[in-house]
Amino acid sequence: MRRVLAILSSSIVIGLGLTTLWGLLPGSPLSDFAAVMIRLAVIVGAVAVLIGVLNLLGVHLRRVLEGEPGWPYSIALLFAALAVLLIAAVEGLGLVQGTALSGFLFNAVQVSVESALSALLVFFLVYAAARLLRHRITWSGLLFVVILLVVLVGWLQVPALGGFNALSEWIRTVPASAGARGLLIGVALGATAAGVRVLLGQDPSYRE
Amino acid sequence: MEQAALISEQLALLTPLVLLLVAILLILGAQVLRRQRLRQLSLRRIPAYRAMPIGVGEAVESERPIHVSFGSSGLGAEATVSALAVADMLYPLAERAAISDQPPIVSLSDPTALPLAQGTLRRAYEMRQNMDAYRSTAARWYPQGPRSLAFAAGVAGALADEDASMSVIGGRFGPELAFIGETATRYDQLFFAQSDQLDGQAVAWVMAERPLIGEELYVAGAYLPARPSALHLSQVLTMEIMRVLAIVGILFFAVFALAQRMLMDVNFLLTVIGGVLLVAAVGMAVVFAIRQLRGRGRA
């Protein structure tokens, strides 16, 4: 029975996948069908957020009940989540007129916290670059640090460093751009091969 | 503008041809590998995939969890294939870790990846017949916020709290990956990272002990399991063939464009010849210097 269900679900998934792919091609008669399928995926995504919220609450509730390390933070998270849900529900039902407290809370807390984290990120990255040479002295590591210095110095708008400016510009537009394109082509090839493998329906996950 | 749209439309028509070519290569490769029993191919060495099973073994022995992150990869959007590739990587790692009482920690910020992560973990525990140790909450959704920084900071905190032994990051990440990498370094955890975004990949290369570069994420199914399937091995072969085709195509068009311009402009022709000679001279000088240095080292 389980095997029959696996074959049936695989057939539905692969059939719909191939049909949607066909519908996405220019001038395809199945374009309306593809649009419906994509809209369906968006709806499933929205439902998934609800599942995600339940998962988040479940994980932190378990942490509190089992007294795992950092459980006080989980209590704070649970209270904050429930409070914001309550506020959003009150606003959504129109019980309070003329206020957007959930939006204000988001901007006051989440955006501020993320801005602070952005600022911290710079120091983390500089420290990581410095540590790279301490732990891993390789030719590629040396090249990385030299180019980093050239590019940083090249950004200084000092007339005496005109040569560095030109070199920095050349590094960014020629070798760095070529390397980036190479990486992206590699990722695209990998994604194409893996995607087609999944669409072929012979993936081990389909059989279990 | 109209011409650009026309070219874009014509290129879009190439998509089914490319997909068909990849499908044929995959099927043919898998059939050849199955018939000739060539499953033990000598694959290109990827240090990260050699070190990962050892890392899981150490985690099991020390009764510490491993951490695998999907980043913001999820199903139904651009990052669908990278989410599936991370699941491919998670399965063999979770299968090895499933003999321990410590379930792996799986973090993700796109909720559509949650069922994928839970399903992959469940399959691994079923394979090991250790469903008592499986917990659906081992896969955790962290809301990502506008720039995924809150997600990364949350995961970094969880890694520190739960004393993970190893962290494997793959899929869609930006520079926020640095938070997780920094925690891994500070708490002496093995750290493997990859991203399908350029800025994330750059940070992964700097921070990870053994980074995965670009397409290496997609071949985890051929490297990590003890007995990889013929289709996974065939995928590696297909990718190599496609890579060679892409390189030959790029070189062909570059040489064609260069030749066309050289025939029209004599000065450009002389500049190109001069440039080639200069590069050859510098290359020979570097090779000579390295040989001299090596010779002195041996003496």
DSSP state, A111?
A: I
> How many C-beta neighbours within 10 Å does residue A194 have?
28
Q: How far apart are the first and last CA of chain B?
A: 66
Task: Find, among B32, B218, B214, B225, the residue nearest to A195 by Cα.
Answer: B218
pTM of the model as a whole: 0.84
Burial class (CB in 10 A: 0-12, 13-18, 19+), B146: exposed
User: Tens of pLDDT along A12-23?
Assistant: 888 888 888 888
Tell me how many residue pairs between chain A and chain B have CB atoms under 8 A apart: 184
**Residue B106 clears pLDDT 90, i.e. is over it:** yes
Closest CB to B23: pick one of A180, A194, A196.
A196
Whole-number pLDDT of residue A204: 64
Interchain contact A36–B (C-beta under 8 A): no
A145 vs chain B: nearest CA distance in angstroms?
A: 10
Chain B residues with beta carbon closer than 8 angstroms to that of A53: 141
Asked if the Cβ–Cβ distance from A197 to B217 is below 8 Å, we say no
What tokens does A48 get? 């998934």
**Residue B135 clears pLDDT 80, i.e. is over it:** yes
What tokens does A76 get? 């704070």
**Residue B171 clears pLDDT 70, i.e. is over it:** yes
Position B190, amino acid: L
Asked if the Cβ–Cβ distance from B13 to A199 is below 8 Å, we say no
Instruction: State how far the Cα of B221 lies from the Cα of B238, in Å rounded to an integer.
Output: 14
Closest CB to B145: pick one of A62, A114, A196.
A114
Q: By percentage, how much of chain B surpasses pLDDT 70?
A: 94
Instruction: State how far the Cα of B204 lies from the Cα of B181, in Å rounded to an integer.
Output: 8
Q: How far apart are the first and last CA of chain A?
A: 12
DSSP A131-178: HHHHH---HHHHHHHHHHHHHHHHHS--GGGHHHHHHHHHHHHTHHHH
Asked if the Cβ–Cβ distance from A117 to B179 is below 8 Å, we say yes
Dihedral angle, C-alpha A85, A90, A93, A96, nearest 10 °: -150
Chain B residues with beta carbon closer than 8 angstroms to that of A129: 206
Task: Find, among A199, A190, A200, the residue nearest to B86 by Cα.
Answer: A190
Close Cβ partners of B63 (under 8 Å, ≥ 6 residues apart): B100, B101, B102
Interchain contact A193–B (C-beta under 8 A): yes
Task: Find, among B217, B84, B241, B288, the residue nearest to A196 by Cα.
Answer: B84
φ, ψ of residue B70 in degrees (nearest 5): -90, -10
Strands B105-108 and B139-141: parallel
Instruction: State how far the Cα of B6 lies from the Cα of A203, in Å rounded to an integer.
Output: 37
> How many C-beta neighbours within 10 Å does residue B297 have?
7
Close Cβ partners of B113 (under 8 Å, ≥ 6 residues apart): B70, B73, B74, B75, B83
What average pLDDT score do residues B117-128 get? 91
Close Cβ partners of B28 (under 8 Å, ≥ 6 residues apart): B234
Report how far Cα B25 is from the mean position of its chain's Cα atoms.
Answer: 21
Q: Where are the domains of chain B?
A: 2-38, 47-226, 245-298
Interchain contact A124–B (C-beta under 8 A): yes
Close Cβ partners of A161 (under 8 Å, ≥ 6 residues apart): A153, A154
Chain B residues with beta carbon closer than 8 angstroms to that of A59: 137, 140
- Report which listed range, B24-38, B57-71, B200-214, is most confident: B57-71
Interchain contact A170–B (C-beta under 8 A): no
Chain A residues with beta carbon closer than 8 angstroms to that of B18: 192
Interfacial B residues in 24-53 facing A (CB < 8 Å)? 26-27, 30
**Residue B120 clears pLDDT 70, i.e. is over it:** yes
Average pLDDT, chain B: 86
Instruction: State how far the Cα of A179 lies from the Cα of A186, in Å rounded to an integer.
Output: 11
Instruction: State how far the Cα of B149 lies from the Cα of B153, in Å rounded to an integer.
Output: 6
Whole-number pLDDT of residue B146: 62
Asked if the Cβ–Cβ distance from B213 to A193 is below 8 Å, we say no
DSSP state, A161?
A: G
Class of domain B47-226: alpha beta
User: Tens of pLDDT along A129-145?
Assistant: 777 777 667 777 788 88
B161, B67 Cβ separation under 8 angstroms: no
What average pLDDT score do residues B14-18 get? 80
Q: Worst-scoring range by mean pLDDT, A33-37, A44-48, A141-145, B53-57?
A: A141-145
Whole-number pLDDT of residue B24: 87
- Nearest residue of B to residue A41, measured between CA atoms: B76
Chain B residues with beta carbon closer than 8 angstroms to that of A151: none
What is the interface pTM, i.e. ipTM, of the complex? 0.82
